Structure 1
């Protein structure tokens, strides 16, 4: 059998065919690779029931801030002692109703009792010395008054005698020398009378100044005695105001010093709420703003009464006065929630407050597209309230967004919601 040689053109055609097939296969592989690379990664799935979805709305919004605190009395009185003593009896315990004169506890102080006796005797001694000095000055005054009366009588008699002698001298019945002697005696008595009158007036006017030291001594001793008596009476500790006894921080047998707090009395009918609000939310709070206080048994209307000037532990204290009647069970130290109305915005785009997002900030939220998926969008937030926040850009009324914490999906721009 004889081999027939193939033409060279046939081999060349086969090579071309194989090259074309290889090129086509390479092109197909490249196209598939490009197509696959352009496919979006599969969106991670999230159970819809596990996230909080809210709808963007348009309308009015109340700007509110909220804080927790307690009810405290507006009228509180701490009762302390002005002297040292020992607690002998505690007559009342916290919770008792008291009046201003109700005795809460009794103290004892033997040294104070002795000082009262000493003060009484000292006062009596000073008073006796005053009365004795006063009697001496009055006797002196009476003696001078008697001398003045005697000299005045002598002067009057001498003046009458002089007048008679001068008449007799005119008739030549007495000598001129005799008249001159009587006239000299009368002038001397007149001078003595004038001096005696001045002495009497000086003595009379000087009695008050001479009794001044004794009067001051009596007043000083009386004040000391009354102070001791008052301190002794204060050993019976009284409430000082009507209300309810809330604390008695001492025990029988305890020795206490001056200024020690013995009891606290409060008026339970006049309460206010002291709440703590995050310092980042207090910049718009003003005195007089409307507020509500929730006591768990009812809501009381009120107004902002006072704002602490300094922050403590990241919060600011705010006092709220209570305008309405107190609900049943309202009492001092009761835990309450206070809500303050900052302002009313008449027409804004709003949504529920997201897990992360502060006032006047920009955040990324997942917006639902209606096809079971949610895409991440940038949203600019405005003013905040307790449960709502203003939308400035990025969302429109009717949009639905996820407000839950989605930090676990930060690597994805879209997610799939599983029903």
Structure 2
């Protein structure tokens, strides 16, 4: 009898477990539970990225220099004439001084020559004036002697001498007038040549001065200083990048999306980004053909009114609407469920849960279409219950 009691104590619980197994119990507050809904389902592809400036300016050094001051840093807003960095180059200062001296020296020499030429022309004009006066007097003398010669009062030799003198004065006048014209032309050619030399010296000075002025590095365009590659005391080589400035008035979004979703995206598809200032509508403008780390860059243009606070390099979350399903059954995306698959979810029936096979369709970022196995209002557990997949049902508390 005693042995019979011992056997009953041992085998009765085992018999009950085999024929009446215990139902696992899970607390509802530990689970994600959602209801099946019906309506318009927008299929969206989400990603993350940054705002980029369509208009960017890379600032580089035209000559070697030393950075003396830094006035602005990345993130600061600048205007086109804002000085970002001040640099120095003693050799450029020497070149400017030398070019300035050569230019001033040549200008002084030209002024001196112009005065000398003017004096020479005045002398020649005075000579012509004197010759004209002499000719006028000689003509009067010649006319008087002509009358006397007719009366044989003046000899032929004296009259001929007067005639020759008048002719000689007229020849001198003609030569002097020609010499005056020649001098004017000569002086003009010389001034033209000297002006070309001055223009070259001016260009040398302007070039040197421009190089020196560029030691005061300006933004060039209004926008946001995005990069600064130098600091006080840095040594900069010719052609070395100093800064990058991007306009904040013409921005685009470069969104990174998973490669397996990129094939569904087409040009012109609508989208939106989320910023601290609110949502901004976008439209797909370019799809990068390259894949980096499993991601594809999608470039989108901003649509509509400009939202305050947008700036280059601002990190944003965004989505692209690739399709819209009318009158669809859908539910929040369960864990470990993928689009266009058949999987079982735990259906909530009051305080119990039973496994139900569902056929899923297209997937959005947070929602997924249900093509079969559920009705509007059905409630399902979205949390992963892989450890309970062998249990026919679960008790929910």
- Indicate if the aligned counterparts of 1:292 and 1:299 stay in contact, CA closer than 8 A: no
**1:155-166 pair list within 5 angstroms:** 155-163=135-143
Mapping for residues 177-192 of structure 1, pairs under 5 Å: 185-192=165-172
3-state SS of paired residue (1:303): strand
Q: 2:122 aligns with which of 142, 145, 165?
A: 142
Secondary structure of 2:185's partner?
helix
Correspondence for 1:300: 279
Which residue among 201, 211, 225 is the counterpart of 2:205?
225
Give the whole-Å Cα distance in 1 for the aligned partners of 2:97 and 2:124.
41
* 1:331-361, Cα deviation, whole Å (9 max, x unpaired): 543321122345656x47665689445xxxx
Alignment-derived partner of residue 82 in structure 1: 62
Distance 2:168 2:322 in 1: 99
Q: Specify the SS of the correspondent of 1:275.
A: strand
- Displacement of 1:207: 2.0
Q: Which residue of 2 aligns with 1:25?
A: none
Measured in 1, the distance between the counterparts of 2:130 and 2:145 equals: 22
- 1:65 match: secondary structure: strand
For 1:154 and 1:321, locate their aligned partners in 2 and report how far apart those are by CA, in whole Å. Answer: 91
Tell me the distance in 2 between the aligned counterparts of 1:282 and 1:166. 117
Which is worse superposed, 105-114 or 184-193?
A: 184-193
Task: Choose the corresponding residue for 1:321, options 292, 302, 321.
Answer: 302
Equivalent residue, structure 2, for 1:211: 191
Cα deviation digits, residues 243-297 of structure 1 (max 9, x gap)? 555543223332111232334455667754321234553665335x5431112x3
Moved more, 157-166 or 119-128: 157-166
Kindly indicate whether residue 267 of structure 2 is the aligned counterpart of residue 286 of structure 1. yes
Partner of 2:214: 234
1: CA distance, partners of 2:322 / 2:188: 71
**How far apart, in 2, do the equivalents of 1:99 and 1:169 lie?**
95
Give the structure with higher Rg (CA): 1
Deviation string 1:100-144 (CA, Å, 9 cap, x unpaired) is: 555444333222232232222222222233233333433333333
Q: Report if the CA contact (8 A) 1:56-1:397 is conserved.
A: no
Structure-1 separation of matches of 2:274 and 2:290: 24
| Native 8 Å contact 1:60 1:344 kept in 2 | yes
How far apart are residue 318 of structure 1 and its match?
0.6
Can you give the 5+ residue segments of structure 2 that lack an aligned partner in the other structure? 1-25
Q: After alignment, is 245-254 or 97-106 more displaced?
A: 97-106
TM-score, length-scaled by structure 2: 0.65
Q: Does the aligned pair in 2 maintain the 1:349–1:397 contact within 8 Å?
A: no
Q: Matches of 2:148 and 2:368 in 1, distance apart?
A: 128
Structure 1 pair 179–342 and aligned structure 2 pair: CA distance change class (3 A): farther
Kept in 1, the 8 Å contact 2:284–2:298? The answer is no
Determine the C-alpha separation between the residues in 2 that align with 1:262 and 1:95. Answer: 15
Cα gap change, 1:82 to 1:183, in 2 (>3 Å) = same
Query: Partner residue of 1:333?
Result: 313
CA apart distance, 1:160: 4.5
Q: How does 1:42-191 map to 2 (within 5 A)?
A: 60-62=40-42, 64-73=44-53, 76-94=56-74, 102-163=82-143, 185-191=165-171
Mapped to 2, the partners of 1:403 and 1:185 lie a distance apart of 134
Deviations 1:47-78 (A, max 9, x none): 9x999998695x64545433210234556544
Structure 1 gap ranges (5+): 1-46, 409-414
The alpha-carbon deviation at position 416 of structure 1 amounts to: 6.6
1:311 is the counterpart of 2:311: no
Change (3 A) 1:206 1:60: farther
How large is the Cα RMSD of the aligned pairs? 5.0
> For the Cα contact (< 8 Å) 1:85–1:256, is it kept in 2?
yes
Q: How does 1:341-356 map to 2 (within 5 A)?
A: 341=321, 347=326, 355-356=337-338
Write the distance in 2 (CA, Å) between the matches of 1:66 and 1:197: 92
The superposition leaves residues 139-193 of structure 1 with CA deviations (integer Å, 9 ceiling, x where unpaired) of 3333332333233333444444455555667777767786666555545544443
> How many residues of Structure 1 are paired with residues of Structure 2 in the alignment?
356
SS at match of 2:313: coil
For 1:154 and 1:211, how far apart are their aligned partners in 2? 34
Equivalent in 225, 231, 236 of residue 256 of structure 1: 236
Q: CA deviation at 1:307?
A: 1.6
> Is the 1:81–1:259 contact (alpha carbons within 8 Å) kept by the matching residues of 2?
yes
